[in-house]
Amino acid sequence: MSAHIPSTNQCRIINFPQRQRIGSNGFCRVTKYRPCRVCRKPDWYGFTADEQTSICMRVSDGSQGTSRNGGNIFHHNRLFLVANPRINRKQAPPPIEIAPIEIRNAVYEELIRRSPAFKYYSELIDGPGGLLSRGLREREIQNCGALPLTHKERASLARTLNKFVKVRFPEYVIRNINPGVIGVPGFWQGETGNVQLWQPRDYNMPLLVMPYRDNQGRIQACQLRLHRNDLRPSEKKYRWLACPFEFRGANSGTPIHFTFKPATLPPGQTVIITEGALKAQISCRSQTESARYRHQRS
Ligand SMILES: [Zn+2]
């Protein structure tokens, strides 16, 4: 096969071994064996199975359009006519778009199901500073998850959740050129294309995952609570579960957590706005209890 390389202004003949991963939608990811024809790098997107079209996240000059995820589309039969090698330059790729709420909710629910806070009982729940000492009840702790200590275990969880998206939302995965779990804040793609979860470092203690639900009860984002032994200088104890690298995964934003569904709230009911999901859970419960108490007395 032959390829025109816009950055060198030469025509080269390149033979690649047939080690391409062809997606079910006919889209292949670039690899070190078959790098991007536009920027020559082994990652950050791919090409159609017929090799006629590449999508590159790095180079935009000379592209013939923008893909759904913001990648630059190059049709190789026309590449030479439109690309000017002198103005080619590296450009920061656009940030990854956040996944729809249905996908985020399903992935986070599955994360909490597979890696619940209860798995780390002594570290997160009944230890000093654990959730029970914060006044939470076991039933409420069931809503929380935990991220494993090691980078490797989190990567394994990311792979499992990526497969989960493939099975649960096949049409979404086919439409998207990123792996399914990319776009859910907290997940990102490493240099080799492997999916990752949270920061690439190991911790002493598991990280508590607190779901932030929207006004319909769906998990829209999560917050992490780091153990004090893991806090580096100037690091905050509570963090949003979001991609640690700009342009490699989606940002969570800073949504509001609802402990109730506004649509089912009785008229005249008091709503308390507080800081932090844990505090909200506790003050929500004491509010319900005082309401119940008043009811019993009347
Ligand atoms: Zn490229």
Please write the tens of the pLDDT for every residue from 104-153.
Answer: 999 999 999 999 999 999 889 988 778 888 888 888 888 999 999 999 99
Q: Which amino acid is it at 63?
A: S
Looking at residue 24, what is its pLDDT?
Answer: 52
Rounded CA-CA distance 167/99 in Å is 16
Q: How far is the CA of 51 from the centre of ligand 1 (A)?
A: 14
Rg over alpha carbons for the chain, rounded to the nearest Å, is 24
Cβ–Cβ under 8 Å, residues 223 and 277: yes
Q: How far is the CA of 183 from the centre of ligand 1 (A)?
A: 20
Q: How far is the CA of 30 from the centre of ligand 1 (A)?
A: 8
Q: How far is the CA of 39 from the centre of ligand 1 (A)?
A: 4
Q: How far is the CA of 252 from the centre of ligand 1 (A)?
A: 26
Q: Which amino acid is it at 29?
A: R
Looking at residue 100, what is its pLDDT?
Answer: 95
Q: How far is the CA of 55 from the centre of ligand 1 (A)?
A: 7
Residue 7: closest CA among 87, 91, 93, 63: 87
Average pLDDT, the chain: 80
- Range of weakest confidence among 82-91, 131-140, 197-206: 82-91
Rounded CA-CA distance 28/42 in Å is 12
Residue 278: closest CA among 195, 199, 211: 211
Long-range pairs, 158-162, Cβ under 8 A, ≥24: 158/187, 158/195, 158/196, 158/197, 159/194, 159/195, 160/114, 161/107, 161/110, 161/111, 161/114, 161/187, 161/197, 162/187, 162/195
Q: Mean pLDDT highest for which of 16-20, 90-94, 135-139? A: 135-139
Where are any strands of DSSP class E within the chain? Answer: 2-5, 10-13, 27-29, 46-48, 53-56, 72-75, 145-147, 187-189, 195-197, 207-213, 219-225, 238-240
- Residue 117 tokens read as 């806070």
Q: How far is the CA of 38 from the centre of ligand 1 (A)?
A: 5
- Range of weakest confidence among 3-12, 195-204, 283-292: 3-12
pLDDT higher than threshold 50 for residue 20: no
Q: How far is the CA of 32 from the centre of ligand 1 (A)?
A: 12
Q: How far is the CA of 91 from the centre of ligand 1 (A)?
A: 11
Q: How far is the CA of 175 from the centre of ligand 1 (A)?
A: 20
Looking at residue 177, what is its pLDDT?
Answer: 83
Cβ–Cβ under 8 Å, residues 259 and 248: no
Q: Mean pLDDT highest for which of 90-99, 222-231, 275-284? A: 222-231
Q: How far is the CA of 48 from the centre of ligand 1 (A)?
A: 13
pLDDT band at 281 (very low <50, low <70, confident <90, very high): low
Cβ–Cβ under 8 Å, residues 59 and 38: yes
Task: Identify the bridge partners of residue 22 per DSSP, sorted by sequence position.
Answer: 28
Rounded CA-CA distance 238/208 in Å is 9
pLDDT higher than threshold 80 for residue 7: no
Q: How far is the CA of 242 from the centre of ligand 1 (A)?
A: 25
pLDDT higher than threshold 60 for residue 219: yes
Q: How far is the CA of 249 from the centre of ligand 1 (A)?
A: 17
Q: How many helices (H) and strands (E) does the chain have?
A: 6, 12
Q: How far is the CA of 268 from the centre of ligand 1 (A)?
A: 57
pLDDT higher than threshold 90 for residue 161: yes
Task: Identify the bridge partners of residue 218 per DSSP, sorted by sequence position.
Answer: none
Q: How far is the CA of 46 from the centre of ligand 1 (A)?
A: 8
The residue ranking higher by pLDDT, 79 or 272, is 272
